[in-house]
Amino acid sequence: MEDQQPKTGKFSLNYGLILGALGVAFGLMLYSMDAHTSQDISNTIIGLVMMVAVVIWGIYAFRNANGGFLTISQALKLGAGIALISAIISIVYTIFLSNVLDPEFTAKIMDARMAELEAGGQYSAEQIQQQKEMGIKFFWFGYPVILIVNVLIGLVIGLIGGLILKKAKPE
């Protein structure tokens, strides 16, 4: 009987759900501290560290379940899959946040961005207000961007993890 090879999809789903749950927990923590609209770089770094840790953990677990063997293509699939599942969860959470938890979330984000423009002094008050209105109107455009960026980052992490953890099956 032939050995059953584990499926990358199962691992992507499981570890994507873990990463998504961690991201939602982090987002709820920020919300409870009223820091969910903060553009602080430390929030981005914490999210990236969580993503790297969970993707590498998922690749490592897959390799162990696969008899200690891993190809770079499997690592890439895992990285992209975990990132995709987590991005979908992140988008659902952001929609929930902006429609239920904090209906003014979009306006707060745009106010923070417009304050930066105003501080630059290059735009008039009317131009800033017009940009804010357009930003709120097209805020949904950020959702596919979140998806694409997450998958690209997952591919990079998967590639690096695959290069570190790869081990070919002997022929």
Question: How far is the C-alpha of 75 from the C-alpha of 59, rounded, in Å?
Answer: 6
pLDDT, average across residues 43-58: 95
- Per-residue pLDDT of 93-108, as tens digits, reads 999 998 898 888 887 8
Higher confidence at residue 128 or residue 40?
Answer: 40
pLDDT, average across residues 38-51: 90
Query: What is the sign of the dihedral through the CA atoms of 137, 48, 26 and 41?
Result: negative
pLDDT at 1 (0 to 100): 40
Asked if the model's pLDDT at residue 47 lies above 80, the reply is yes
Tell me the pLDDT band of 3, cut-offs 50, 70 and 90.
low
Q: What are residue 70's DSSP bridge partners?
A: 167
What's the angle, vertex CA 47, arms to CA 68 and CA 6, rounded to 5?
A: 25
Segment of 1-15, 44-58, 89-103 carrying the highest mean pLDDT: 44-58
pLDDT, average across residues 5-33: 94
Higher confidence at residue 37 or residue 23?
Answer: 23
Look up the pTM and report it. 0.86
By percentage, how much of the chain surpasses pLDDT 90? 57
Question: How far is the C-alpha of 162 from the C-alpha of 129, rounded, in Å?
Answer: 47
Question: How far is the C-alpha of 55 from the C-alpha of 67, rounded, in Å?
Answer: 19
Asked if the model's pLDDT at residue 62 lies above 70, the reply is yes
- Buried (b) or exposed (e) across 152-169, using 16+ Cβ within 10 A? ebbbbbbebbbeebbeee
Domain map (residue ranges) of the chain: 8-103+142-164
pLDDT at 55 (0 to 100): 96
Asked if the model's pLDDT at residue 132 lies above 80, the reply is no
pLDDT, average across residues 108-127: 74
